[in-house]
Chain A
Amino acid sequence: MTSVEEKPGELTRPAPILTEDNKAYWKETVQGRFGVQRCTQCGRLQHPPRPMCPVCHSLEHWIVELAGIGVIHSFSLLHHPRHPAFTYPVIAVLVDLDEGIRVASNLVGTDPAEVRIGMPVQVSFAPARDDTAVPVFELRAVTA
């Protein structure tokens, strides 16, 4: 594994690791669009993206934009170790999106002590290195 030890002062979050199989996903997020892979042949939505549909074996797929609405399936307040680009504790979340997709991300703009499973969230974007951006989530106000 190639890796780098981070130096204090590098305050922008790490850029996504681009591969041939994931670059279409990150290309959208850089543009401020949040979408996931949909199989052209059978219509399956899937994440993480992959080169072949595991159901129909089609090689054709595109990124379909999602509403970016979901709920917190799980979370963790990360205290240690610390990376200079983040404020601690980092709120790590798994979000279940309305379209049936789960993603790992951060909850931002919320007091860590207030985070609960089941909270409604909506997508936002945070800058990352190399002029990229990644989807993160904010609490979503729910009208009764």
Chain B
Amino acid sequence: MNRPAVSIVGIGQTEFSKGAGRSETQLAAEAIVAALSDAGLTTDNVDGLVSYTIDPVEETELVRALGIPEIHWSSRVPYGGAGSQGVLQHASAAVTSGGACVVVVYRACKARTAARFGRAVVATSPTSSHSGSTAMQWCTPYGILTPASWMSLNATRYMHMYGVTSADFGRAVVQLRDYAATNPAAHFHGRPITLDDHQSSRWIAEPAIRLLDCCQETDGAVALVVTSASRATDTPSPVDIAASGTAAIFEEEVASNHYRPDLTRMDGAVALAEQLFDVTGISRDDIDVAMIYDAFTPMLFMQLEGLGFCKPGEAKGFVADGRLGPAGSLPCNTNGGLIGEGYIHGLNLTTEAVRQLRGTAANQITGARTALVSASRTGVILRKR
């Protein structure tokens, strides 16, 4: 394959908390300054901004806070959390097209103290910032009001088809919490759990999702700096973007994905894997460490299968065999994932992948050279230089 054209040269984040006590714009600005400092660049170098349709920070306010002189590219990615890696594809397009030279990718949320995902809030309009949630209108009159409830309908079918139990999901959560326990940035730092802890946690959506299967509602921000691979050579610690892709499939919704024929299969993840692996020639065996969007544990299982790391129905065995652990064949979500570290919309999985390839992760996987980040319908493969 060709030498990658685009690189991630800086990462930054705020603390992850249950109450930031400051605005999303401030959180984003703090994370961006940290990422630029990490890259050895300044706000004067930035000419591109990429975020998400559901991000609350306005570009004009961010530029005003940061003092960026001039923006040449700005774009936003839809599809909610499933779109969370699409920002790297946008940033790559900006750089390779000549649209911008240095692109900042960011996400700021106050998912705990502002718009909480886990509340019983009844929408009165059919769309939420073009993020794939228009479809929730078909769930609202039925009290199916949260991402966990939407997704649980797919998960119950998955459990039924393949004989998967809540304890099977729990084994993955125990591993995620083990990683989080030794990650000082994680919400659950120092707090590992047992399978019994998982099994005794209360139901959110029975039989698929217990409390400990849910990602954290987190306040915080994450930013990355993207530029050309050639320019990246002058920065202290670049990581190359070897592949990026998006696969949004006909009739597939975001969290309320209820209308595809086979709800146990993530068709978007299957198509994404074709782009990331089959088209590029990168092998699944090349992946040393994987970050897989784990808003709820069943989504992790269904992506392991959709991405082709195991066959349909085999994720429970894959997990039970310890494959996701530090000594496994696919160390996964080594920061503790969205369940253990926090939920910055999945962009904190991308920064963890960068840390692994730099050799600076809290739970460092020895010799990690190639990392996958999947959000089920957007994803990237990153490579150490």
Q: A residues bordering B, Cβ < 8 Å? A: 1-6, 13-17, 19, 22, 47-48, 54, 73-83, 85-86, 89-90, 92-94, 102-106, 117, 128, 134, 136
Pick out which of these stretches binds chain A: B18-26, B132-140, B348-356, B371-379.
B132-140
Question: Quick one: which of A19, A81, A82, A103 contacts B126, CB cutoff 8 A?
Answer: A19
Across-interface contacts of A82 in B (CB, < 8 A): 120
Pick out which of these stretches binds chain A: B102-110, B151-159, B318-326.
B151-159
Across-interface contacts of B157 in A (CB, < 8 A): 73-74, 94, 117
Question: Which residue in chain B gives the minimum CB-CB distance to A112?
Answer: B206
Across-interface contacts of B143 in A (CB, < 8 A): 13-14, 78, 83, 85-86, 90, 92, 106
What sequence of 0s and 1s flags, for each residue 193-219 of chain B, a beta carbon within 8 Å of any chain A beta carbon?
000000000111111100100000000
- Shortest C-beta distance, B382 to chain A (Å), equals 33
Question: Quick one: which of B121, B128, B138 contacts A104, CB cutoff 8 A?
Answer: B138
Across-interface contacts of B139 in A (CB, < 8 A): 92, 104
Whether the pair B153, A48 counts as a contact (CB closer than 8 A) is no
Whether the pair B156, A76 counts as a contact (CB closer than 8 A) is yes
Whether the pair A104, B142 counts as a contact (CB closer than 8 A) is yes
CA distance A48 to B145 in the complex (A): 18
Whether the pair B258, A54 counts as a contact (CB closer than 8 A) is no
Question: Quick one: which of A54, A75, A105, A106 contacts B250, CB cutoff 8 A?
Answer: A54
Across-interface contacts of B256 in A (CB, < 8 A): 104
Across-interface contacts of B13 in A (CB, < 8 A): none
CA distance A11 to B39 in the complex (A): 55
Whether the pair B129, A1 counts as a contact (CB closer than 8 A) is yes
Across-interface contacts of A134 in B (CB, < 8 A): 141-142
Across-interface contacts of B126 in A (CB, < 8 A): 17, 19, 22
Known contacts: A80-B203, A81-B146, A102-B259. The answer to whether A17 contacts B153 by CB under 8 A is no
Whether the pair A1, B146 counts as a contact (CB closer than 8 A) is no
Whether the pair A17, B263 counts as a contact (CB closer than 8 A) is no
Whether the pair A92, B123 counts as a contact (CB closer than 8 A) is no
Question: Which residue in chain B gives the minimum CB-CB distance to A117?
Answer: B160
- Shortest C-beta distance, A30 to chain B (Å), equals 12
CA distance A4 to B123 in the complex (A): 7
Known contacts: A77-B203, A79-B205, A102-B258. The answer to whether A13 contacts B141 by CB under 8 A is yes
Across-interface contacts of A47 in B (CB, < 8 A): 259
Question: Which residue in chain B gives the minimum CB-CB distance to A87?
Answer: B143
What class of interface size applies to chain B in its complex with A? Answer: 35 or more
The 9 closest A-B CB pairs, nearest first, are A74-B157, A1-B128, A81-B120, A76-B152, A77-B206, A83-B120, A86-B143, A17-B137, A90-B143
Question: Which residue in chain A gives the minimum CB-CB distance to B136?
Answer: A17
Whether the pair B141, A76 counts as a contact (CB closer than 8 A) is no
Question: Which residue in chain B gives the minimum CB-CB distance to A49?
Answer: B138
Whether the pair A104, B144 counts as a contact (CB closer than 8 A) is yes
Across-interface contacts of A54 in B (CB, < 8 A): 250
Whether the pair B156, A75 counts as a contact (CB closer than 8 A) is yes
Across-interface contacts of A76 in B (CB, < 8 A): 149, 152-153, 155-156, 205-208
Question: Which residue in chain B gives the minimum CB-CB distance to A19?
Answer: B126
Across-interface contacts of B204 in A (CB, < 8 A): 78-80
User: Is the C-beta of B122 less than 8 angstroms from some C-beta in chain A?
Assistant: yes
Known contacts: A4-B122, A104-B139, A106-B142. The answer to whether A80 contacts B156 by CB under 8 A is no
Across-interface contacts of B120 in A (CB, < 8 A): 6, 81-83
Whether the pair B202, A80 counts as a contact (CB closer than 8 A) is yes
- Shortest C-beta distance, A64 to chain B (Å), equals 18
Given contacts A76-B156, A136-B142, 7 further A-B contacts (CB under 8 A): A13-B141, A14-B122, A16-B140, A16-B141, A77-B206, A81-B146, A104-B153
CA distance A17 to B357 in the complex (A): 47
Across-interface contacts of B118 in A (CB, < 8 A): 80-81
Across-interface contacts of A92 in B (CB, < 8 A): 139, 142-144, 149, 152-153, 205
Across-interface contacts of A16 in B (CB, < 8 A): 137, 140-141
Known contacts: A22-B137, A104-B144, A134-B142. The answer to whether A2 contacts B203 by CB under 8 A is no
Residue among A15, A80, A86 with max Cβ neighbours from chain B (10 Å): A80
User: Is the C-beta of B360 less than 8 angstroms from some C-beta in chain A?
Assistant: no
Question: Which residue in chain A gives the minimum CB-CB distance to B206?
Answer: A77
Whether the pair B122, A1 counts as a contact (CB closer than 8 A) is no
Known contacts: A1-B128, A1-B129, A17-B125. The answer to whether A83 contacts B145 by CB under 8 A is yes
CA distance A75 to B154 in the complex (A): 8
Whether the pair B123, A17 counts as a contact (CB closer than 8 A) is yes
CA distance A80 to B148 in the complex (A): 9
Question: Which residue in chain A gives the minimum CB-CB distance to B160?
Answer: A117
Across-interface contacts of A85 in B (CB, < 8 A): 143
Question: Which residue in chain A gives the minimum CB-CB distance to B116?
Answer: A81
- Shortest C-beta distance, A4 to chain B (Å), equals 6
